């Protein structure tokens, strides 16, 4: 029953956020036809464009995968 309720809530929430245009145009997660590859391509493209313009870029990556393993 809880999985069913979770799916109903997610469906309604996503519908509301889409209807009211609350997602950023750069949103990759939870969007149809978007994935981590979409986000990665955006970052790589931005870095390459900055490099072509002679700009300095700094990329900071955080791995939070273990942050929520403390049960």
3-state secondary structure string across 6-18: HHHHHHHHHHHHH
* Residues 6 or more apart whose Cβ sits within 8 Å of residue 7: none
More confident residue, 14 or 70: 14
Q: What share of the chain is helix, strand, coil (3-state, %, to 5)?
A: 50, 0, 50
pLDDT exceeds 70 at position 71: no
Write down the pTM of the prediction. 0.53
Q: What is the pLDDT of residue 63?
A: 77
Q: What are the pLDDT digits (tens) for 15-63? A: 898 899 887 777 766 667 777 888 888 899 999 999 999 999 998 887 7
Q: What is the pLDDT of residue 49?
A: 97
Q: Where are the beta strands (DSSP E) in the chain?
A: none
């Amino acid at each position: 029953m809880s999985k069913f309720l979770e799916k109903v809530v997610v469906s309604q929430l996503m519908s509301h956020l889409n209807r009211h245009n609350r997602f950023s145009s750069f949103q990759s997660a939870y969007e149809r036809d978007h994935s981590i590859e979409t986000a990665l391509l955006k970052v790589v493209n931005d870095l390459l464009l900055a490099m072509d313009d002679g700009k300095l870029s700094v990329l900071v990556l955080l791995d939070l995968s273990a942050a929520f393993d403390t049960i």
